[in-house]
Structure 1
Amino acid sequence: MKKYPERLMAILSLLSLLFMNKKQLLRFLPSGIFISLILCVESILADAYHYWRVPGGKKREASVNLSFIFGPFFTGTLWIFHLTYGKFFRYLLANSLMDFLLAYPIAFFFQKKKLFKLLKFQPPYMFGVSMIWAVVIYGYQMLIEKTDSKKEPSEFH
């Protein structure tokens, strides 16, 4: 695992979901999947437009990108929703803090460890885009909740 620290990071992130109530996990799972798909598209664009570079070739790049997407980003989304959903200001505050940490000290740390190198996707841009995605997925979750509340109770069983 020392050779692939991103895999360990993904596994540990996913293991944290064992501590989440199953009902809450299932409630927020669609938003977690939605943002993961968005980030997969963003990773494809990152390659085409040189947002960042991962040393070690295409396989390594895919490993790093997917480990971040389906590890801390996916689980972080579920945890932030679990802890803050229904309180938009608290949600934005939590996302602001996490996105700031990602864009600055965490990105700096991983660049120093040569896991990736930011090119055109500099920290302020990373922070801004992350905040936009946070608002988008909050709206998506609200839409899901609104749609689910219109269903008959028998449809939930």
Structure 2
Amino acid sequence: MKREGIKRYIPVTIFTALLVTIIYELAYTYKWWELKVTIVPWGYITNVSYAYGSFLIGTMWIFYFTFKKFWLFLVANIIADGIDAFLIREFMELRGIIHYINLSNWNLFIVMVALSLIAFGFQVWQEKTFKLKESGT
């Protein structure tokens, strides 16, 4: 990825990682799921490898390749979120890494798509900020 792309999309990437962390906090509080295996001792609430690993990197690349075209962005996110909610999460539950309690795969999918729309709105706002900065206003 070019340096300009990293600079342009790192704010939305960090923002979405923060939102995913908040979602994990809500999941812990409302017993949506329970993490059974963690990579860090304090990771029993937030799956650190997901929120600050694969999700963070995936967000960056999806924005880099699709941001300028909303429908392409939406389709890419629906595909990625579907794979995550229906395949990867099922695999993780079968392996004993996570256990769903009060949240179905469909509910998780809807939460993730909503998160991508919030992130898109954030990036639109960021783009306006970039344009103001470039114009010197």
TM-score normalised per structure 1: 0.80
Cα pair distance change 1:60/1:145, threshold 3 Å: closer
Counterpart of 1:54? 35
Is 1:28 the counterpart of 2:22? The answer is no
Counterpart of 1:8? none
Displacement of 1:59: 3.1
Of 59, 83, 104 in structure 2, the residue corresponding to residue 77 of structure 1 is 59
* Counterpart-to-counterpart distance in 2, 1:122 and 1:149: 41
1:75-108 superposed Cα distances (whole Å, 9 cap, x missing partner): 1100000110110000000000000000101111
Identify unmatched segments of 5+ residues in structure 2: none
1:33-91 superposed Cα distances (whole Å, 9 cap, x missing partner): 001111111111111110111125873525x6111000111111000001101100000
Give every structure 1 segment of 4 or more consecutive aligned residues whose post-TM-superposition deviation is greater than 2 Å.
56-60, 152-155
Aligned pairs for 1:110-149 (under 5 A) are: 110-149=92-131
Identify unmatched segments of 5+ residues in structure 1: 1-19
Q: Which amino acid aligns with 1:71?
A: G
- Give 1 or 2: higher helix fraction: 1
Sequence identity percentage: 28
The alignment of Structure 1 onto Structure 2 pairs a total of residues equal to 135
